[in-house]
Homo-oligomer: A and B are copies of this chain.
């Protein structure tokens, strides 16, 4: 089922600026036993991004009520929330009165083999580069052609994720995940002030552990002791292979995986 501004629907107006210009943003949330995991964090991020894009923020109580309506009998699923600037005339100029469109849709939870969590995944470097755009960086907005093109680079199911560099050859993130590495017991991740999406799990890890945010290249990444990717649906996956280099699932990754599982249980 899909709710559009609270009403079950399968379609939206063609004049919606979400379609016309990618003028909006989204959240992807795990539903477990009828509960939206890390919902407060997702609502906070959604609110912050709406403010950056000058889209009126959705009422959190309305969101929570609609999520309950949609998900309360759902065991395991992915909830996607899209907020757009609503319908408008032709042209970039926004309407004088913005009536945002709020779309909540429920999707099957993807089935991942246990090995992704235990032995880790195989990843590749993508050729498609992330552009530089400080105005939009960090937000989960609807302008996602970079990720679409990067994900279209491979069809081979033995590769689970692609790592994207920016146009300056700095490593940023996965096509659908944030990337961390550990070197000499110190965690690192990319600065996301020029490109990339600042994920909820990324933020949770950074609040829990000392992580150095910096700019780094492929060679530095391949020197790491441990690598992992994370997002709100997969949780945390170790990387076992990248560009013909193998990595062991290390203690840092194991520790954070267990810690994250506890956080999910606690939140859920």
Q: Which residue of B lies closest to A145 (CB)?
A: B143
Known A-B contacts: A131-B131, A133-B133. Give 19 more (CB < 8 A): A9-B14, A11-B12, A17-B148, A19-B82, A20-B142, A21-B145, A21-B148, A23-B148, A28-B90, A54-B149, A89-B107, A90-B107, A91-B110, A92-B144, A129-B134, A130-B133, A131-B133, A133-B167, A136-B145
Q: Which residue of B lies closest to A80 (CB)?
A: B90
Q: Is the CB of B145 within 8 A of A23?
A: yes
Given contact pairs A90-B78, A103-B14, A107-B89, A146 touches B152 in the complex (Cβ within 8 A): no
Min CB distance A87 to B, Å, is 11
Enumerate chain A interface residues (CB-CB to B < 8 A). Answer: 2, 4, 9-14, 16-23, 26, 28, 53-54, 78, 80, 82, 84-85, 89-94, 103, 105, 107, 110, 128-136, 141-152, 167, 175-176
Residues of B within 8 A of A143 (CB): 21-22, 143-145
Residues of B within 8 A of A150 (CB): 92
Q: Is the CB of B129 within 8 A of A135?
A: yes
- Within the assembled complex, what's the spacing in Å between the Cα atoms of A4 and B19? 13
Residues of B within 8 A of A78 (CB): 90
Q: Can you list 12 A-B pairs with a CB-CB distance of less than 8 A?
A: A9-B14, A10-B14, A11-B11, A12-B14, A20-B142, A21-B144, A21-B145, A53-B145, A90-B107, A91-B151, A91-B176, A141-B145
